[in-house]
Amino acid sequence: MTPGSVTLAPAPEPIPPLETLSASARREIPALNLDIHVHSADPAQRFVVINGRRYREGERLGEGPVLESVTRDGAILRQDGQRFRLSVRR
């Protein structure tokens, strides 16, 4: 690296929508319906209702996945190392 040069961090890998995961990956994930989605600049105000139950970032859903984050257009979840996105239906 030369003096004054900048090293750029690799771009984060995009989180795939649940519906684009392979059939075998989708079989491992329970049926999830994003009923209500509330995004705020204040993380303490963010939440979703999935399958009729309210969750905040970091909580594990009753169905198994963990809610990693609530984004402007949906939610990022993780199950068994597989990250995926539930999008708000428009």
Residue pair 74/34 in contact (Cβ under 8 Å)? The answer is yes
Whether the per-residue pLDDT at 10 is higher than 70: the answer is no
| pTM summary value | 0.82
CATH numbers and ranges of domains, the chain: 18-87 (2.30.30)
Query: Tokens 């030369």 label which residue?
Result: 2
pLDDT tens digits, residue range 35-90? 999 999 999 999 999 999 999 999 999 999 999 999 999 999 999 999 999 999 86
Mean pLDDT of 21-27: 91
Task: State whether the Cα torsion 39-42-45-47 is positive or negative.
Answer: positive
**Quick check: 13 pLDDT over 60?**
yes
Q: 88 Cβ partners below 8 Å, 6+ apart?
A: 34, 37, 73, 74
